Amino acid sequence: MLTNYREIRHFHLFCGLGGGAAGFNRGQARVGSMRARFHCLGGVDSDAKAIADFSRLAGIPGTVLDLFDRDQYRAFHSEEPPADWREATSADIRKAANNERPHIVFTSPPCKAFSGLLSEGKSKTEKYQALNRLTVRGIWLTLEAWKDDLPEFVILENVPRIQNRGRHLLDQIGGLLRRYGYAVAETTHDCGELGGLAESRKRFLLVARHQEKVPPFLYEPPKHPLLAVGDILGRMPMPGDPSGGVMHRVPSLQWKTWVRLAFVEAGSDWRSLNKLAVQDGYLRDYLILPERRADYLGVTPWDKHAGTISGRGGVTNGRYSVADPRFHGSAEYGQYGVRGWDETVGAISGQSAPGGGRYAVADPRCSGVRHNNIFRVVRMTDASPAVTGGTGPTAGGLAVADPRTGLNRGPGDHYLTSAHYGVVPWTESCGAVSAAAGHDNGKWSVADPRASCFSTGTETNAADEMPAQNTKLVAIIRALDNTWHRPFTTLELAALQGRVDPEEHLELEGLSDSAWRERIGNAVPPPAAQAIAGVMGQTLLLAWSGETFTLNAMSIWVQPVAVALSMNSGVGHQ
């Protein structure tokens, strides 16, 4: 049978680095002798670096275009636009698509203001409300761009919380689309299940189907069990390996952060640290030392033989100390000894320092408390002491017991649920990769069990002292579960998103890990977009062939996106 290829053109608004476009390009659909061939017309985004990535990854030049209107620009940037700035028009949208008409328009507007990672109060500010309104403006520009020959499908992808924080905007969009002849529905799905990923990424889809062009029919794409993060990371080079490129470097964190990660239980977060016993500001039950050679600071019993005497026979190089039973605490040799106030002192020697004998005294003459109000905390209902030039906690009663939560710390708030310092077990999947994925704002570290991560204990250049708390470095600490609790690298986050195969090398525009992570987190996972493209392509082929039914082992997609594509009613949401 001769294959009849039919081109399905797709265009992307708020396209980011091109995850959705790359996935749609890989879409596959076939009905009888008809076979879909997906072709990207282009994409639009305001981020020039994202468009550079899009052009490379989607295989077609993208367009840098700011979709704000003038009021939105002023509200978001708190200033007037530059003199050469102008509002985008529907003609700009058509030009960005090479003046061709798409069959599918996929939009993924900024979700920052709808995300749980932004507080409710901040999301309501004028700046973020202006960002929210881009969802409506983007859809309106799309419909006006091709109002004479509308796309068969218009899709809006975002975080599920848009259904609450952006309810009024979704209602406006639904009404707008219905006026142009679309049936509209709101659905949710898990990108991880659709794309067979190692992350669970719950997303919202508003799907608009042009009722005259597309009959109500859609197959369900197969769902896949989520993979474990180890299934992906285990196929990649070790973090820090030069073969992984600069995106595979381990983030340099403060020493105290490495210690926190080491004590977080795999699968848990910062709340694990509440189980640790802290006494006088120190861990009571644990002592952390740099990894040393065997017998570092070793002590040989009096009745045992010594090991081989080497040229480096110092106390830090092996078992070169002895437990001598002949010392009974004599006054002559009492190192670090403290004399009672009513005792006599021993002979004063030339080495009369604390480490050279009993040259310290228990002095009872302390004349009261010095430095009043050090670290004092004032009650909310009390008056403050005099405000002085030394306004720090150690300079007086200048701290307050503030009973106000102030951070919207109610049930379900992002500050309680974002799993700070969270560590993902090697055998479990991770959550949705976000644009701000970092070790201290979610479960963005992993309990890596691979033995090659760890020091062998034979190094000769180990540091003699522990790092200061705020020293930034890459550290390997063997955690309590005998794994290395470390942050995901940027390349690993891209692989978990399905943006790159584990064995592949990835390069993105720029040199900033934070910018790379933001673009990766904002991206639609290509495998999930590929699955959605496949069922939409099959629906279009059925419509173009005049079929309303076909024998197929695949089930009809009744939920969630099937409802969106097959509904005839004008119901916007349940």
Residue at 400 is within a domain: no
With contact defined as beta carbons under 8 Å apart, do 521 and 436 qualify? yes
Range of the domain at 280: 232-287+418-512
- pLDDT surpasses 80 at 346: no
Q: Is residue 542 part of a domain?
A: yes
Q: Check whether residue 210 and residue 241 sit in a common domain.
A: no
CB 49 within 8 A of CB 556: no
Look up tokens 């991206």; give the residue: 523
Q: Which residues contact 558 (CB under 8 A, 6 or more apart)?
A: 220, 566
Give me the chain's average pLDDT, please. Answer: 82
Q: Is 222 contained in some domain? A: yes
CA–CA gap between residue 370 and residue 366 (Å, rounded): 9
Question: What are the start-end ranges of the E strands in 213-353?
Answer: 253-254, 278-279, 282-283, 299-300, 321-322, 338-339
pLDDT in tens, 304-340: 877 777 766 666 677 777 877 765 555 455 667 788 8
Q: Evaluate whether residue 378 is within a structural domain.
A: no
Rounded to an integer, what distance in angstroms lies between the CA atom of residue 49 and that of residue 52? 5
CA distances, 520 to each of 16, 106, 493 (Å): 9, 17, 8
Q: Domain check: are 236 and 222 in the same one?
A: no
Indicate the residue among 495, 512, 529 that finishes a domain: 512
In whole angstroms, how far apart are CA 152 and each of 187, 211, 344, 482? Answer: 18, 8, 99, 54
- List the one residue out of 126, 112, 130 whose CA is nearest residue 67: 130
- Residue pair 78/87 in contact by the 8 Å Cβ criterion: no
Total domains in the fold of the chain: 2
The DSSP letter of residue 84 is T
Whether residue 112 sits in one domain with residue 20 = yes
- Residue of 418, 444, 434, 438 whose CA lies nearest to 522: 434
- What local confidence, expressed as pLDDT, does residue 391 receive? 57
> What is the pLDDT at residue 574?
36
The answer to whether residues 535 and 189 touch, using CB atoms and an 8 Å cutoff, is no
Residue 368 pairs in a beta bridge with none
61 is written with which tokens? 């030049």
What pLDDT shows up at residue 439? 83
CB 25 within 8 Å of CB 58: yes
Per the CB < 8 A criterion, the answer to whether 76 and 47 are in contact is no
Distance CA 275, CA 233 (A): 30
Q: What ranges in 59-166 are assigned the alpha helix state H?
A: 70-77, 90-96, 120-123, 126-132, 134-145, 162-165
Q: What is the CATH number of the domain that holds 101?
A: 3.40.50.150
Phi, psi of 222 (to 5 degrees): -65, 145
Same domain, 500 and 525: no
Residue 431 CB partners (closer than 8 Å, separation 6+)? 199, 200, 201, 419, 442, 443
For residue 557, which of 541, 530, 526, 534 has the smallest C-alpha distance?
Answer: 534
Q: pLDDT tens digits for 202-248?
A: 999 898 989 899 876 666 677 899 999 999 999 999 998 888 999 99
The answer as to whether 157 is a domain residue is yes
Task: Examine the domain organization and report whether 501 and 526 are in the same domain.
Answer: no
Asked if the structure places residue 392 within a domain, the reply is no
pLDDT value at position 322?
80
Which residue in this structure is represented by tokens 């470390």?
A: 486
Contacts of 260 (CB under 8 A, 6+ apart): 270, 273, 421
* Average pLDDT, integer, range 280-289: 82
More confident site: 553 or 482: 482
The position carrying tokens 């050469």 is 84
Residue 46, pLDDT > 70, answer yes
What phi and psi, each to the nearest 5 degrees, are found at residue 518? Answer: -65, -45
Q: Which helix (H) or strand (E) element contains residue 195?
A: helix 191-195
For residue 531, what is the DSSP state? H
Residues 91 and 240 in one domain: no
Together in a domain, 101 and 213: yes
Q: What pTM was computed for the model?
A: 0.74
Sorted by sequence, the CB contacts under 8 Å of residue 83 that are 6+ apart come out as none
- Same domain for 111 and 10: yes
- Judge if 11 and 113 occupy the same domain: yes
| Cβ burial, residue 81 (10 Å; 0-12/13-18/19+) | middle
One domain, residues 432 and 554: no
Q: Are 211 and 275 within one domain?
A: no
Residue 219 located in a structural domain: yes
Please provide the DSSP assignment of 462-508 as one string: --SSPPPTT-EE----B-TTSSEEEEPPHHHHHHHTTSS-TTS----
User: Tens digits of per-residue pLDDT, 288-302?
Assistant: 777 666 666 778 888
pLDDT at 408: 44
One domain for residues 175 and 249 = no
Q: What is the DSSP letter of 80?
A: P
The values of phi and psi at residue 453, to 5°, are -70, -25
**What gap in Å lies between CA 196 and CA 150, rounded to an integer?**
33
**To the nearest whole percent, how much of the chain has pLDDT over 70?**
81
Which stretch of 73-87, 268-282, 454-468 has the lowest confidence by average pLDDT? 454-468
pLDDT of 372: 64
Q: Would you state the pLDDT for residue 422?
A: 86
Answer whether residue 539 is part of any domain.
yes
For the ranges 206-220, 225-239, 253-267, 482-496, which has the lowest average pLDDT?
Answer: 206-220
Q: How confident is the model at residue 561 (pLDDT cuts 50, 70, 90)?
A: very low
pLDDT of residue 325: 76
